[in-house]
Structure 1
């Protein structure tokens, strides 16, 4: 029996590390960091966003977490995220996956999930 996506991402600890690294990449990415840097001044809000992201990927990959955040459309409405920004987010996530030594097949599965979400996030 093959491992679940949750297990291939390193379980809860692996997903937490990937999310931390991805958000750090967003903060350092000049194409999208204007959307993320303000959270540094609101550490409690940043911690909440990180936890929602961890829970979302944990639950969505077959893990035990329960995601209690807003749905993707509600969370991104009014942000007017364009396709270029979305691609930068994906690139940053893939840099985090690489940093955490995630294999190519698992990265393809993550990409499929990220691609399936784009219509709920772009231009909302």
Structure 2
């Protein structure tokens, strides 16, 4: 029996670690950190964003979690994310996946999900 992507990413706890590492990467990435550094001073808001991200990716990767946050268009409207910024964000996510020893097949599955979301975020 094949494991779900949720299971291959380590379940909710594994996804939580990946999200934490990704946010840290965003904060250290000069191409996107202006969007993330202000959240260091707003820990409550940062925690909410992280939890929504964990819930969203858990539900979207075959986990039992039920995502109750905003849809991607609503969540990103007004941000005017560029294609270049989106690509930097993907790079940061992949650095986190590598740090957590996620296998190549799972990384391909993550990329497929991220690519399917891009038009809901870029330029909104």
Relative to the length of structure 1, the TM-score reads 0.99
- Tell me which residue corresponds to 1:6: 6
Identify the residue that residue 41 of structure 1 maps to in structure 2.
41
Q: Which 5+ residue runs of structure 2 have no aligned equivalent?
A: none
Gaps of 5+ in 1: none
Post-superposition CA distance 1:42-90 (Å, at most 9, x none): 1000000000000001000011111111000000000000000000000
Runs of 4+ in 1 over 3 A off after TM superposition: none
Alpha-carbon distance in 2 for matches of 1:43, 1:24: 13
Q: SS of the counterpart of 2:39?
A: helix
Moved more, 58-67 or 89-98: 58-67
Matches of 1:106 and 1:66 in 2, distance apart? 21
Tell me the equivalent position of 2:91.
91
Question: 1:65 maps to which residue?
Answer: 65
Q: Distance in 1 between matches of 2:65 and 2:41?
A: 28
2: CA distance between counterparts of 1:51 and 1:21? 14
Root-mean-square deviation (CA, aligned residues, Å) is 0.4
Q: Provide the residue aligned with 1:78 in structure 2.
A: 78
Over residues 87-122 of structure 1, what are the superposed CA-to-partner deviations in whole Å (9 max), with x where a residue is unaligned? 000000000000000000000000000000000000
